[in-house]
Amino acid sequence: MAASVRVGRIAGIEVGLHWSLAIVFALIVWTLAGQVLPALVPDQPQSAYWLVSSIAALLFYVSLLSHEMGHAVVAMRLGVKVDGITLWIFGGVARLHGDAPTPGAEVKIAIAGPVVSLVLAILFAAVTFALDTTSGPPLIEGGSAWLAASNAMLLVFNLIPAFPLDGGRLLRAWLWQRSGDRYRATSSAARLGRICSFLLMGLGLLALFVQGALSGLWLIFLGWFLMSAARSEESQVLMRGALAGLRVGDVMSRDPTMAPGWITVDEFMHSVLPGQRSNAYPLKTFDGGLDGLVTSNRLAQVPQEDRPIRRVRDVGIAIEDVAKASPGEPIIAVLDRFSQSDDGQLLVIDGEGKLVGMLSPADITRALRGAAVRPSS
């Protein structure tokens, strides 16, 4: 989930907001100011309802961020890299770079968020009780009561054993501990997660068509999101499992053809491209040094009239901007570099600075197919 607005860093963790957050913020404020607070505390100025509702909505998102920070901080302490946190329409996402190393670490990371939500629910409940016993401002008390209930609901919802919710991750840790197999545990937890998502969508359809409640739409969308997230995370974990133990040198396409970068695009397309099956070509300088990378797509985008005068190196990517890997690196350690590569290609360079291969998504797919047909020991 990519952030639309980057807020900054908290405890060294990048925090961002997705544009969809504005939709839910407006809905929360509108619901609180128009329905919830007037029912709890009647006969107050409308402007006061809107002000307290806006503050409560902001504090709710602070609560969401705190929940995700709980996951992220514990993950970092356990040696798991955190790419960042994004708040969006369905709450928050702490993007962890890789999996927990052990079932125990998985439990600690997964339970950290619910513990934060529990603490916040107790805190807001205590504030509500204190305001009630001291006859404090009734609207502030109403807003605090809503925040206590919201954090309690966030706690309960996240403990549903539906992967990838926190409860589903706790379930995976338990299955992992019992079987000793992280990947089988992930498949089982994801399967239950999909069942829960269908139940949510079914409840949403009942609420929408039987009771006429628009809240059913929210349950339908939430169920759909959980189903998609479970499938996506399951495929990522299983893919990493299938590639475990493989190194870049085992998978790369070896000894790629180096093309001259000083010739024109027209000459390149007539003298180099014919008979070649590759879509990407490392470029060399006149004295044989590595100069960059060019792809068939980049060449095809050059206007016909410019091809006789444009050099290939001017169309390609400069060597300093090309994503690279070394042959001894684990495959799973370089997967994220494909997203940093404009053309989905990694140049594989050995310790002496020599080009020894190229790595593409097609090479990864071929390795996955090989893992799928490889007999288990």
Residue with tokens 């939500």: 117
Could you tell me which residues come within 8 angstroms of residue 325 by beta carbon, excluding any fewer than 6 positions away?
A: 248, 334, 337, 346, 347, 348, 349, 359
Residue the block writes with tokens 């050099």 = 311
Is 251:264 a contact under the CB 8 Å cutoff?
no
Q: Strands of 13-17's sheet, edge to edge?
A: 5-10, 13-17, 81-88, 91-97
For Cα atoms 83, 89, 94, give the angle at the middle one, nearest 5 degrees: 20
Tell me which residue of 150, 371, 129, 117 sits closest to 243, measured CA to CA.
Answer: 371
Q: At CA 2, angle to CA 188 and CA 346, rounded to 5?
A: 85
Distance between CA atoms of residues 71 and 292, nearest Å: 40
Concatenated DSSP letters of 141-186: HHHHHHHHHHHHHHHHHHTSS-TTSHHHHHHHHHHHHHHS-HHHHH
14 included as an active-site residue: no
Closest by CA position to 32, among listed 12, 50, 10: 50
Question: Position of tokens 């990378």?
Answer: 293
Contact yes or no for 271/295 (Cβ under 8 A): no
C-alpha to C-alpha distance for 374 and 372, rounded to whole angstroms? 6
Q: Which of 68, 106, 233, 234 is catalytic?
A: 68
Return the DSSP state at 80: -
CA distance 125 to 99: 35
**Whether the Cβ atoms of residue 272 and residue 281 lie closer than 8 Å to each other:** yes
Which residues does the annotation mark as catalytic?
A: 68
